[in-house]
Amino acid sequence: MIKTNVSEIFSKYGLEVRFAEFEKVKIKETEKNYRTVFLTYIPYFYEPEDGQNLCRYAALEDYHKYVPQKLSEIKNELEKEYPKNIFDIFADNSPINEKHAAEISGLGIRGRNSLIITEKHGSFVFLGEIITDLEVVCEENKPSVCSGCGACEKACPAGALNGGRCDVTKCISALTQKKGELTEAEKASIIKNGMIWGCDRCQEVCPMNKDLKESEYSKNTVKLKTLTAKDLEGLTDKEFRKKYSDRAFTWRGISTLKRNIELIENQKS
């Protein structure tokens, strides 16, 4: 009965939901007596423009803000339905292993690029959850993987994918966020990919991401698809963070982006 009620509330807002026992997916101890995770996702796929130098998620409104906003409406309804229980929202910075929770709850499967792939929206999704002390009987799915075609591994510009694992020391998405000096090999990877923040290549070639439609989230947010040296010229770090406060890339500060832009623009000149 509880599962049905919760599923209907999530469905009302256009979201799928799956359930996992908190104790089986937690990675941090908490003071609260959490019992159950209500796991969901927000799709964000759209077709990029030529010359886009920000990966898809970075070009959109910061999901760390958007996902909690979306889930807050659901939280309000849950609190009305179950007034004696607590319901806390998380997105990324969570006391659970979100990918493992997605696997065992049946929300998605693990790709060879280490990303979660959902049936309806592929891997272009943001995970989010509401964690509660409400006890729900959870069916545990055996973690499953994709077909293993290897397209993502072959397409990775930096050779960061191997055997279903991602070497973050090579991953271009991680390199574009790395502070300080880069090695010549790291610089070459960023230049080869042409992105100043992030990388979507492994997702673009995945057959499970074929024929995806633009998400509602993407349609309803203003996209910032490119950043140039001119856009950042004269800005202090504080001014940069304020100007782009609604974007996920601001947490690293202006210097990292300036470095990446300089690498790529110098290569073109």
pLDDT tens digits, residue range 164-181?
889 999 999 999 999 989
Q: What is the mean pLDDT of residues 215-244?
A: 95
Q: Are 104 and 25 in contact (CB under 8 A)?
A: yes
Indicate the burial class of 196 (C-beta count within 10 angstroms; 0-12, 13-18, 19 or more).
buried
Instruction: Tell me which residues are annotated as active site.
Output: 92
pLDDT of residue 267: 78
The 8-class DSSP code of residue 90 comes to E
Place 10 in a pLDDT band, splitting at 50, 70 and 90: very high
pLDDT of residue 142: 81
Percent of the chain at pLDDT > 70 equals: 99
- Residue indicated by tokens 């469905």: 11
Q: Are 96 and 25 in contact (CB under 8 A)?
A: yes
pLDDT of residue 137: 92
Q: With H, G, I as helix, E, B as strand and everything else as coil, classify residue 11.
A: helix
Domain borders along the chain are: 2-132, 151-268
Is the pLDDT reported for residue 225 higher than 80?
Answer: yes
**How far apart, in whole angstroms, are the C-alpha atoms of residue 226 and residue 250?**
14
Q: What is the mean pLDDT of residues 246-264?
A: 95
Length of the chain: 269
Q: What is the pTM of this model?
A: 0.93
